Amino acid sequence: MKVVTFNIRCDYNQDGNNNFQYRKELILQKLKKENADIVCFQEALPHVVKWLKENLEDYYILSCGREKDLKGEQNTVAFKKEKYQLISMNTFWLSLTPDVPGTRYENQSMCPRSVTEVFLQDLETEKLYYLLNTHLDHEGSEARVLGMQQILKHMSGVAEQKKQAGFGKVEMILTGDFNGYPNSEEISLIAKSEFLRDLTSGMEGTFHDFGRMQPAEKIDYIVVSSGLKCCTRELWTDCENGVFLSDHYPVSVVLEEV
């Protein structure tokens, strides 16, 4: 299975030649060429999600806005209609009240942070996958640490729930823009979790600010449970006439069961 994490860049018409209207054809060409099984987007505004739904007809596309009125940026999950059955989907917020839309930690930017989680079954193999897509805070390291701790605790709890419910083996995938460098405390929590592995370890940077950030900063990740292994991995560095896919390089991995 091919899984991609893709910060598509919030579209407020602020990027000149790299405004979304100039990037979207390149994005669509790339997505159709790569034909990924699952694509996890961050910073997708409602009109961009609408565009994804109109153009990615082979995918179910799920998410909601992070604000208290469920508007604003979305952590969107797109998965192949013909390959996966959706068992459940949920959104929760990184805060002390995760079920309350728009909530956040006290020492955080003004941006609420949310997680889109989906529970999928491969229709051919009947294997089960629990996938989470998120975007951690861009300002507060403390908020990123608290958010990652919350996510890992939540994942561990869900794994136990699935086991108790008789689902058997469920592999887990965590994707997103974590806004933390590989040596940061928030990223070190992944290695300490004992049940997850960072498949992007050692890869080059991902945030390049439309080519202005050299070298690029490594802040985008794909993390999986021990039952999955990475066959290939790559950054999507496509650029045509100075127009990039985004200000982040999307990360693509091909996974197999161990």
CATH at residue 222: 3.60.10.10
pLDDT tens for 199-211 read 999 999 999 999 9
Which residues span the domain enclosing 90?
A: 2-257
Q: Nearest 10 degrees: CA dihedral of 2, 196, 222, 56?
A: 50
Q: Please, are residues 10 and 250 in contact by the beta-carbon 8 Å criterion?
A: no
pLDDT tens for 117-176 read 999 999 999 999 999 999 999 998 999 999 999 999 999 999 889 988 889 889 999 999
The number of distinct structural domains making up the chain is 1
DSSP state for residue 30 in the 8-state scheme: H
Q: What is the rounded distance in angstroms from the CA atom of residue 204 to the CA atom of residue 235?
A: 8
Where are the strands (E) in 123-167, listed by range? Answer: 128-135
How distant, in Å, are the alpha carbons of 12, 129, 142, 158, 161 from that of 167?
Answer: 43, 11, 35, 11, 9
pLDDT of 92 reads 98
Task: For strands 2-7 and 251-257, give the pairing.
Answer: antiparallel
